[in-house]
Structures are given as C-alpha cells and as structure tokens.
Amino acid sequence: MRLASLAVWVGIALAAAPTLADETSSGDKLRILYSNRLTFDDRGVPLVTVEIMSHQSEIRLSAPGLTVLPNGDGGPVLRGAQGFRVAARNARPARVREWTVVDRLGVDDEVGAEQTLRRWRARGFDPRAFEIGTVYGVEGEVIDSREVLVAVSPVPAGGGERRAAGIARKFGVDTSVHRELVRRPSGSIVATSIGGAEMVIENKSVLWFSARQPTDTVAVDDVLFGHGGSQVGRERRERRRYFGSVYVTLGNDGKLVVANAVPVDRLLAGLVPSEIFPDAPMEALKAQAVAARTELLNQIGRRHHTEPYLLCSSQQCQVYSGAGREHPRTTRAVRETRGLVMLRAGGGLVDARYSASAGGFNANNDWIWGDAPDPTLRARLDAVEAATPRLRQFARGIDDDNLDAFLALPPGAFYAGANRYARGRFRWKVETETDALSQRVAREFPRVGRLLAIEPLERGVSGRIRSLRLRGASGEATVRGDLRIRRLLGGLKSALFRVRTRGRPGEPSSFVFEGAGFGHGVGMCQTGAIGRAEGGQSYQQILSAYYQGSRVRRLY
C-alpha cells in the first residue's frame, strides 16, 4: 500500500487519538518547536523537548505497535508498521544571523540597557536588545530566568565567532555570540515503512512517533553521541530507546533533527545515572537529582534559540542517553526529591552548574564563561574541616607560586580527593609529543610553527587558566577560554594545570601537563558531593555548600 501524502492517509485512517493533547503539538508545529515555551503534561509535570540527534539525512526508528501522530497528541493516529525510514523533501534551510553580545543585564534593568545601547551607538554600531529565558508560575513561585542581551554587528551564520573576537580585542570587552532565527526552515517530512507492505506518510515540517503503550519505548538507530565536551575524538553511534514521544523535524540547516518530548522526572531518571555513579551514597544522588532538575529547568529558553528543541543531550546541556539507562538507586533519588529545585535568595532558579571534579578548588562562573558574577557560584576551597590549618596558604587562591604545593597535597585534605570515584579525576598527568601537539595547534594557528613553549597568562582564583601564549618557531598566538584551551591541547581534563617540557632547552620533545579536576569546576563537584555524603552530610547540606545562599523548594 503506497500513499502519496498525509491527506490521502488521513482520509482512510479510522483510528482516533487515545491521548490528551499537549501544547507542544498544537497549532503551528514548527513555530512552537522553535519557541522557548515550557509546557506541562496533564499531571502538572513540566514537559521538555530534548535533542536526540541533528544534521541527519535519514532517521530510522521503530517500536512495538509504532504509532505515527502527524499532528502530535490530540490528532489522528496512524498505525500499521513496526518501523519507519524518515527523510526530508523539498527542504529549505533556515536563515540565521549571529550577533556579538557585548552586555548581559537583568530583565528589569531598563536604565542599564539604555545606557549600554547609547554607548554602542556612540561607537558607530546599531545595537539591539534580545530577551532570552522564560517566565512561568508554579505552586505560588514565579520562576523568571529571563535576561537581556545587548548585541551588535550581525553577520551570516558561521561568521559570529570571528566577529565577536575582533570586537572583544578592539574594545576590551568580554563577548559571546547570540544566534537569531530570522526565517524558520521549510519542507516536508516523509516516513516510509520498513518491512511488509510499503506505506508512505508525508507531513509538513514534523512527524511525531510513539509506542502503543506508555511503558514501551521508541528506538532510534545510529544515535551519535560522545561529542560536545573537551574529550575530543570520542564520538560513537548506537541504537537508543526513548520513553514519551519522539518527533522528527527540520533543523536550521535544512537537515533532520530527531528529538524526545518527555516529562522532566522521566528525563531525569535517564539522565542522572549518566551524570554520577549510581552506586554513590544516596545523599549524593539526591543532591545530583535536585541540581540536575534545577539546571534543566533553568536552561529553558536560554540556549538553542535557533533549534527545534529546548535542550541538547550532550555535555553542553546535560548528558541524556534515553531509556534503559535508568538505575534503581538514581530513580529512587529522583522520586524522593520529586519537584525539588534550588532557588536564589532573591527568587528565581539557581544556575546549578556541576562538574565531575573541581580538584579541590571550585571556580568562579564569570572566570570560566565571562558571565556576570553569580553570588551562588563563587570560588572556594573544597576541603575537609580538619585540613583547614594546612591550607591557609591557599586562602587567597591558587597562582603560579603555590600551584606546585597545591597539586602535591594529599587527597584526604579534600572532599573530592579521598573517595574511590576520584581516581584519575582529582589529579592527573598527560604527556604529549611536541610534533603531535604542534600539528593540532597548526589547524587553528598555522603561523605558530613547531611549539617551543606554552605560557599561562591569566589564572583565576581557582588556578584555572583563562588565557595562555603559544610560542612557536615561526610565531606566537594567544588562546582564551577554558574549554577552547582544553580542546586545543588535546582534550585536557581541566584548565587547572601546570606545564613542563622534556628534551633539550629550547627544543622540547614533549609537553607534560599535570593538573587537578575534571570539567569546568563551577558549582557542585560531584566527587566532592560523594565525599561529603560519605562523611555524613545530607543532600541539603551538600547543595548549600556548593550553591551559596540557595534554598530548596518544591515546585510540583
């Protein structure tokens, strides 16, 4: 049976929708998918859309009793195949502009925004203010994550990073890139059945898929994962399964995106085991569940402004591997902290960042990302109380003079150091041959030549490097930014490191990096949370230690 279009199929189909409608599948499908709206299921639990995979020419998915919902829940239901091969027809990419962000302000700071706009007009620019984030009310709390970005000098997609770097150098300001969706992509999504009589379903912009029973999952083949962090070269593909609904739509490049629409706590059940060891102490798992829930909700509307989903599934957002990754202990932690989030002293969600290991010293958020200083995300020693006297030399921070002494301290002096989960994360050492590292650097800085020296230029209070100089046989280059530095140097675990060389003076044969921590170091240290839980601290005490001035509140 071959059907040319959705209209023909709907005319024949007899099945009616057995499920309640939700907001993400009504009205203008692509407009809603590209919006920053937070919706709720019929139990009042937030419903989020999470990217599974992007930039694909074809998607293959299957499920027991696979159901196709062209209009999402509440519309016609099409059955009759166990799997589909999905492609795009007449796809047209979106039009995206990239702006250089020169300031970030609170949504109520109208005076500050106007002053910034005037200042950049005087410099010859035509600045524009963008509001990002979202606002909603739950259980008597108003959650407002909005902020205003003042941005200048729009360029076509792909040119924003270079433009932002140039403006940063010229005016001495921290910059970032904001992507604006000028025109959404267009085209049709075509699903062709796999096996049995051929069936073709075509719909404009998006097709939704779900399993017949809520306890069943939709399987997506060849899901790409392992990208997005500092650990380069780890990409792999595998078949993954997902609860809830899965939809296939168009990304801004005109290629296919497959995403999962899933209630927050169902998402967390699959997410938390990917973020922390499931056999860790229960109080650490509960702290992770609350932090992950808070950060997940706080990201709504603040990222992926030009994509048809709210969150990605890589390290940029939170690692999500779908169904089948749940663990009874982490699921229990999610269940026993249902609806709990962290709020700031003045209201609003905490920006609940976390990393695998801070190495004994947490970082300031503004040093890592260039954001405005966040009072809940301040640098501090993460040391056990008994070790405090011997750590006084580090009270003002880590610098080039005391870094060696800091790295030599015994793991037991720190919450993050003594437990078995810290192995290879708390302290680490990597040696890279000069020729291999020079080739890596040459991809980005071809004029540097063979590397002769790597010199830290700026260290934050936590000892993490924000800028360093690469000296080569042919020239020099300066590299800025935590993640950029780590990636350029081969995927270092953190930017809290020292550099030594082997070989003859002036002609190094290799570079030796000795460092502390794994990740950016902002917010909660996960191995530190485990150490604190092993020491008897509750999840509330753990969260209070890492997110200063926060309070735990139930939202749903």
The residue behind tokens 């099945």 is 15
Q: Start-end ranges of CATH 3.30.70.1070 in the chain?
A: 95-183
Residues 305 and 519: beta-carbon distance below 8 Å: no
What does the pLDDT read at residue 234? 62
User: Considering the chain, what is the average pLDDT of its residues?
Assistant: 88
Token pair belonging to 311: 């969150």
Query: pTM to 2 decimals?
Result: 0.81
Residues 417 and 528: beta-carbon distance below 8 Å: no
**Nearest residue to 545 (alpha-carbon basis) of 526, 553, 554:** 526
Amino acid identity, position 516: A
Per-position DSSP letters for 313-362, written without gaps between them: SSTTS-----BT---HHHHHHHHHTTTEEEE-TTSSB----EESB-TTEE
Q: What is the rounded CA–CA span in Å between residue 389 and residue 382? A: 13
- The CATH classification number of 95-183 equals 3.30.70.1070
> How does 251-269 read in b/e, with b if 16+ C-beta sit within 10 Å?
bbbbbbbbbbbbbbbbbbb
State the Cα torsion 381-385-387-390 to the nearest 10°. Answer: 70
What does the pLDDT read at residue 395? 85
Per-position DSSP letters for 151-214, written without gaps between them: EEEEEETT-HHHHHHHHHHHHT---EEEEEEEE--EEEEEEEE-SSS--EEEEESEEEEE-SST
What does the pLDDT read at residue 278? 95
Per the DSSP assignment, residues forming a β-bridge with 525 are 355
Q: What is the DSSP letter of 363?
A: B
Per the DSSP assignment, residues forming a β-bridge with 433 are 510
Residues 549 and 458: beta-carbon distance below 8 Å: no
Q: What is the DSSP letter of 411?
A: G
Token pair belonging to 361: 């010293």
Residues in the chain: 556
Q: What is the rounded CA–CA span in Å between residue 11 and residue 20? A: 22
The residue behind tokens 């300066």 is 478
Q: Which residues of the chain have pLDDT under 70?
A: 1-29, 72-75, 139, 227-234
> What are the CA-CA distances from residue 98 to residues 21, 126, 151, 183, 299 (Å)?
35, 14, 9, 13, 20
Token pair belonging to 376: 């809940």
Per-position DSSP letters for 473-537, written without gaps between them: SS-EEEEE-HHHHHHHTT--S-S-EEEEEEEETTEEEEEEEEEE-BS--BSEEHHHHHHHHHTT-
What does the pLDDT read at residue 174? 84
What does the pLDDT read at residue 17? 33
Q: What is the rounded CA–CA span in Å between residue 419 and residue 202? A: 54
Greatest Cα pair distance in the chain:
80
